[in-house]
Amino acid sequence: MTAAAPRHPRFAEPRAPSFEGCRGSIGVYSDRSGRGRAGGHVIAASSSTAPGRYGLLLCALLAAMPAPAAEAEAPDDPLAAPQYQHSAWSLQDGAPPDIWALAQRSDGYLWLGTGNGLFRFDGISFERYAPPPSQRLANSNVTALYTAADDALWMGFLPGGISVLRDGRWQHYDAAAGAPATMTTGFAEDRSGALWAAATRDGLRRFDGTRWQPVGADWDFPGHRADAVLTAADGTLWVATDTTLVYLPPGEHRFRSTGVALGGGHASLAQAPDGRLWLSDKKLGTRAFAGAADAVAATQESAVPPIHFAQMRFDRYGVFWGTDRNNHGVRRSSRLADIANGQGLRDRDFDASTDEHNGLSSNKTVPLLSDREGNVWAGTNLGLHRFRYNNVRMLRDARLDDQLGYAIGASERYGLLIANRASVYALHDGPLQRLFTAPVDNIAGLATGRDDTIWFTSTPGLWRWQDGRLASLPSPDGTGSASLIAGDGADGLYALWQPGGLQHHADGRWQPAAPALAPQSPSVLLRGADDALWLGYADSRLLRWRDGEQQVYTEADGMPAGTITALAPLDGALLVAGENGVALLQGERARPVATEPPELLNGVSGIVVAADGAVWFNGLHGIVQALPAALRAAAATGRPAAVRVFDKEDGLHGVALQFPASPSAVRDAAGRLWFATNQGIARIAPAQLYSNAAAPPVAIRALRAGGYDYAVRDGLALLPGTRDLQIDYTALSLAVPRRVQLRYRLSGVDADWQDAGTRRRAFYANLGPGAYRFDVIAANDSGVWNRTGATLDFRIEPRFVETWIFYTLCALAAAATLFALYLLRLRQLAARLRARLDERHRERERIARELHDTLLQGVQGLILRFQAIANKVPRTEPLRDALETTLDRAEALVVQARDRVQDLRAGLGADAPSLPEALARTGAELAEAYPAEFRVVVEGRLPVLDSLRRDEIFRIGREALYNAFRHARARHIEVEIVAERERLRLRVRDDGQGIAEDILDAGGKAGHWGLSGMRERALALGAQLNIWSRRGSGSEIELLLPLPDHSRWQRLVRLLSAGNP
C-alpha cells in the first residue's frame, strides 16, 4: 500500500517512514505561508485511548509498507483555463455542407456562406435564404461574408463577384462593376466607412459607394493577391498578400510595407484584446507583434514546426481560437498573453483541441465567428459547431475514479477536499494533490473541523487526519461503524454509530449526544447554528434534538415525500430536501418550494449557501440557484420560484450523487462552490458567473392559412373565409435555444399573453373576419426579455355574407318579415274584431226585430183593447179617468221601448258612413219631427277611429241631439267636430230652454238615463264629458277624446292593418 505525497511547491518531498510506538512520518504539507509542517501517515488509536481491536494489525501493515513514491507532475491549475460546451449540427441535423464563411447581423440570425448557397440558422433549424428569381446570385459558392456597420450583409464568391443584402433588397456587382473576378477571401471596413475586399488573384478592391475600384500602384499596394484584410482597433488597415504584410494608416492613401516576408499563401490576421496583432502563415506559423514598429518580430523563424491557422478569432473572454484545416481542427488557448512577440505557437500553448476524434464533424475547418452572445462558431465541410463558455467547470484528473463516487469537503488550509477510493486529494490555487491514502477500501463520508482537522468514515471505522497524522478512532463500545458524521463547529465531531447512536467526540472521548435517540438508519445529519442536531430519515421524518428535547416532523407537517436527502439552515428556517422536492421549515410547519417544472428540485443531495446569500441545490436535474426571498415567496404562495438552472448546456456533466454519506455541495474559503456528481467534481464561481445580457431579437417567419403560405408583411390581407391559421416565429438567442422562453398574443382572441415555452408555432381556429395583431416576445437563457418583440398586423377579408351590407340587408329583411307578421297579426285581430262587431250588430238587430215584432206589437194591441174598453166607460165615471191615465203610461212605455229598439239599430257598423255624416243624418231625421235649424261643422282632418270608439262617440252625440230636439224647444242646434293634435272634440249646442240646475246637479232626471248613459260611455272611452247650461239660455255638451300620436308611420300601419289603400 502506498501513501503518496504531493509534489506541488507547497508540498515537500516525502520522507521514509519511521516508527515510534507505531507512529511514523511520511510527508510534509506546507501551509499558506510556505513554512513546512510535519505531515505524515500515522495509523494509531486515539492518543488518550488504548489501541482498538485493529490497532496492532494496522501497525504491522504500516511497517510493511514501502516508502511513498512521488506523483507525476500535474498541471498548475486544472480549472484555470475556461471550459466550453461543444454542440454540433451535422448534415443529418439539417446543416448544409461546405461551410466556408460565417456572419451575424442585428436580426440575430447566424448566416452561413456555403458551397451550395446562403443559409441562415436560428439555433433550431437551418433555412436556405435566396433572393427572388429576378435577383438571382451570380454563383452559389459563397466564400466570404461580412456584416458592415449599416447592417448590410456582403458576400463574395468562389468564381468572383460580390453581392450585398441591405434592408431586404439585393444588389449584385460583377466584373463590369469592378468586383473581383476570382475568389473573395475577406472584407474589412475602415473608419471612414469604406469597404475593402481581398481576392486571391485580383488583389485588393475598394468600394466607392457605386462600384469596386482596384487598389494598385496608385495606392502603393504590392502584388496581385490579398489573402487577408483586417481593420485594427486604431483604424489601421492591415493586408496580408502572398509575399508580404502591408498596412494603411488612417486617413492616408499609400500603403506602407512592414518588411515581413510571407510564404505559402493563405495567411490570416487577428487582433487580441491587448492590442497585439497575430499573423499566421504556412512559412513561419502563428506569432504576435505589437504593431508596425514591431512587425519585424513576426519574421523570426521558430525551431518547432509552424502551426498555421486558416482563420483566427478572440472571443469576449480573451480566449484565442484558430482553425487548423489539416491537423487539429479547432484549437484554443487562454494563455497567449504570456507568449512573447515573434514567438511561434507550440502545441503546449493550447488549452484544448477539437477534431474528428472528439466531436468535430471534420478537420476541414475554416470559418470562425464570435457572436453577440459570446458563443464561438466554427464551420466544416460536414457541419456546424458551437462552443459556449461554461459557467460550470469540471475537474478532470485520471487519478479520480467516478465509479465509486466522491465525498467532498472544504478546508481553509487545504481548499477543496476530495475523497475517492482510499485517498483524499486537495485542490487549492494549484494542481490537484494527493493529501494522504488511508489503509481502507473506500472512504464514504467526509467532514472538516475548525483547526483543519479532516474526519472521514470507511468500512470499518472512523478516521481523523490532523497535523499531518492519520489516526483511527474506535467506536464508543469497540464495535460497529459510523454512518454519518458532522463537525461540532469547534474541535469535536458528531458521529452516528450503529450500534451506539449519536455520539459526540471531544477531548479525546465519546459521549452520548442524544441518549434517548435511536438511530433507525438516518440518511442525513446536520448540526445547526443554534447547536441543534437534525436527522433525516427514509420515511419523510425529520428529527430535531436540542437541550435534551426531541421533536419529530413528518409528512403530515409538510416534509417532502420519501427519504430526506439534504438539510441546510436559511435565516432562521431550515431547507429540507427529499427525493421528491424541497420544503422550507419555518416554525412548526414546512411548506413545499414550488418550481417549474415541478420535478426540478427532485433528488437534491447537497445544499450550499454562497457568500452573496444565494442558495444552490445539487440535484437530479442539474445545479439550481435561487435567492432566499424567492424560496420564501414560493413556499408562501405556491407559485414557482424564480431560479436559474445549470446543466449540460453550462458544462455540467452528470447529476448529483444520490444518498452520499456527506453533503454533495460545499463552499471553499474563496467563495467557490463545489458539487459532486456521478461524472466528476464541478465548480462554480458565483462572483464570475457569465449572464447573457443580449435580449434576443424576435422574428415572425411565416403565416399559413387555408393551405396558402403568405409573405410576412404588415397590412397582410388573408382570403375571405379564412378560419384557421398557423404563425411561425422564432427568437434569435443562439446560446441555449432550448431555454428561450416565448410568449405570444393575438389581439381580439387572447385576453393575456400565452406561454409557449420553447414552441415556435402558434395555431388559431374559428377566426372571424376583421383586423388582428399578433405579438410575440422572448427571453434568453438568462431571463433577459425582449419586451418589444415582433408584431404582425393582418386582416381576414370577409365574404359577402360577412359584410355589414349583408348584415344590414338581413336586418332589414328580418325587420320587414317581423313587420309583415305584425301586419298579418293586425289583420287577423281586425278581422276577428270586425267579425265580433258584425255578430254583435246582427244580434242587436235580431233583438230589435224581436222586440218590435213581438213585444211592442203585443203591447200596442193591448193598448188598443184597453182603449176600446175605456171608450165604453162613460167619461163621468172615475174608472174612465183611471183607464186613461193607465193608457197614457202604457203609450209612454211603448215610446221608450221604441227608443231602445232604435238604439239597438243605431250602430254605425263596419260599412256605415263617417261620424259627421251619421250625426248629420240623425239630426236631419229629428228636425223633421221637431222643427229647428240644424247644422254640422267639421274642423281639421278627422283621425281614423276603430268601429267601437266611433259607435260610442256617435251614441253620445245622438243622445245629445235627442235631448236638444225633443226637450230643449230650441230654434238652432249645431254639432261641431274638431280634430286637434292630441284630442278629438265633439260639441252639441242649442239655444233652447236649457237644463234645470237640479237635474244637472243630480246627474240626470229621475227615471231617465240619457245624461248618465252619456257619462258612462265617455268614461269607458277614457274621454271627458262637459255640460254647460243655464235656464232659458240653451245648453252645450262637450266630449273631449284623447288621441295617440298619429304619426305617418302609425297611420300607415292602421291603413294597412285595416286593408285600406
Tell me the CATH number at 944.
3.30.565.10
Please say which residue of 799, 822, 849 terminates a domain: 799
- The 3-class SS string of 126-171 reads EEECCCCHHHCCCCCCEEEEEECCCCCEEEEECCCCEEEEECCEEE
CA distance 359 to 86: 8
Domain presence at residue 935: yes
Q: How many CB atoms lie within 10 A of CB 829?
A: 11
Q: Distances from the Cα of 780 to the Cαs of 673, 698, 1041, in angstroms?
A: 25, 11, 83
What is the percent of the chain with per-residue pLDDT over 90, rounded to a whole number? 55
Q: Please check whether residues 742 and 718 belong to one and the same domain.
A: yes
Cβ contacts of 524-532, under 8 Å, gap ≥ 24: 524/484, 524/564, 524/565, 524/566, 524/567, 525/484, 525/485, 525/486, 525/494, 525/496, 526/486, 526/567, 526/568, 526/569, 527/486, 527/487, 527/488, 527/489, 527/494, 528/569, 528/574, 529/569, 531/489
Sheet holding 509-512, edge to edge: 481-487, 493-498, 501-506, 509-512
Q: Name, in order, each residue with C-beta under 8 angstroms of 670's C-beta and a sequence gap of 6 or more.
A: 415, 429
On the question of a cis peptide bond just before residue 628, with omega within 30 degrees of 0, the verdict is no
27 pLDDT above the threshold of 50: no
| Range 206-210 average pLDDT | 95
Q: Are residues 873 and 921 in the same domain?
A: no
Highest mean pLDDT among 237-241, 529-533, 861-865: 237-241
Of 216-230, 379-393, 860-874, the one with minimum mean pLDDT is 860-874
Are 897 and 1020 part of one and the same domain? no
Grid cell at residue 954 = 256617435
Q: Please report, in angstroms and rounded to a whole number, the separation of the first and last CA atoms in the chain.
A: 127
In a domain, 882, yes or no: yes
Higher pLDDT, 943 or 1: 943
In this structure, is residue 343 part of a structural domain? no
Q: Same domain for 593 and 635? A: yes
Confidence (pLDDT) at 1055: 55
Q: How confident is the model at residue 43 (pLDDT cuts 50, 70, 90)?
A: very low
Cβ atoms of 454 and 443 closer than 8 Å? no
Instruction: Judge if 634 and 581 occupy the same domain.
Output: yes
Residues 884-913: pLDDT tens digits?
888 887 877 777 677 667 666 655 555 567
Give the number of C-alpha atoms closer than 13 A to the C-alpha of residue 58, restricted to the C-beta side. Answer: 25
For 13, 290, 335, the CA distances from 347, given in Å and listed in that order, are 30, 22, 12
Q: Are residues 1003 and 981 in the same domain?
A: yes
CATH number of the domain that 617 lies in? 2.130.10.10
1002 or 678: which leads in pLDDT: 678
At 497 the pLDDT is 87
Is 1039 in the same domain as 916? Answer: yes
Question: What residues make up the domain containing 826?
Answer: 803-905
pLDDT at residue 165 tops 90 = yes
The pTM is what?
0.74
Per-residue pLDDT of 915-949, as tens digits, reads: 899 889 888 888 888 888 999 999 988 888 877 78
For the chain, the average pLDDT equals 85
Look at residues 779, 799, 819 and tell me which one is the last residue of a structural domain: 799
> Is 666 among the domain residues?
yes
Exposed/middle/buried for 1040, CB within 10 Å: 0-12, 13-18, 19+? middle
Residues 584 and 682 in one domain: yes
Cα–Cα distance measured from residue 135 to residue 765, given in angstroms and rounded to the nearest whole number: 37
Domain presence at residue 507: no
| Angle at the Cα of 641 from the Cα atoms of 636 and 643, rounded to 5 degrees | 150
Residues 841 and 872 in one domain: yes
**CA distance linking residue 937 with residue 926, whole number of Å:** 17
Q: Residue 142 above 70 pLDDT?
A: yes
pLDDT at 1006: 67
Based on the fold, state whether residues 921 and 1042 are members of the same structural domain. Answer: yes
Same domain, 901 and 931: no
State the CB neighbour count (10 A cutoff) for residue 810: 11
How far apart, in whole angstroms, are the C-alpha atoms of residue 215 and residue 205?
A: 5
pLDDT at site 89 = 97
The DSSP code for 216 is S
Whose cell is 445547526? That residue is 528
Q: What is the pLDDT of residues 809-830, one digit of tens each?
A: 999 999 999 999 998 988 888 7
The stretch 279-292 carries a mean pLDDT of 90
Same domain, 847 and 949: no
The residue whose grid cell reads 413528518 is: 554
Answer yes or no: is 290 within a domain: no
Residue 121 pLDDT exceeds 60: yes
Q: In this structure, is residue 599 part of a structural domain?
A: yes
Considering 905, 940, 970, which residue would you say is the last residue of a domain? 905
pLDDT at 111 over 60: yes
Answer yes or no: is pLDDT of 36 > 60.
Answer: no
Q: Assign residue 786 the CATH number of its domain.
A: 2.60.40.10
Note the pLDDT tens digit of each residue in 362-415.
Answer: 999 999 999 999 999 999 999 999 999 999 999 988 888 877 778 999 998 899
pLDDT of 687 over the 70 cut: yes
pLDDT tops 70 at residue 69 = no
Percent of the chain with pLDDT over 70: 88
pLDDT at 268 over 50: yes
Query: Greater confidence, 875 or 211?
Result: 211
Is the CA virtual torsion 986, 989, 995, 1001 positive or negative? positive
| Residue 952, pLDDT above cutoff 70 | yes
In tens, the pLDDT along 440-453 reads: 888 999 999 877 89
What one-letter code names the amino acid at 574? L
308 belongs to a structural domain = no
Rounded Cα gap, residues 321 and 53, in angstroms: 60
Query: SS3 for 381?
Result: coil
Q: If you search the block for the grid coordinates 267636430, which residue do you land on?
A: 977
- Split into its structural domains, the chain has a count of 5
**Distance (Å, whole) CA 132 – CA 119:** 15
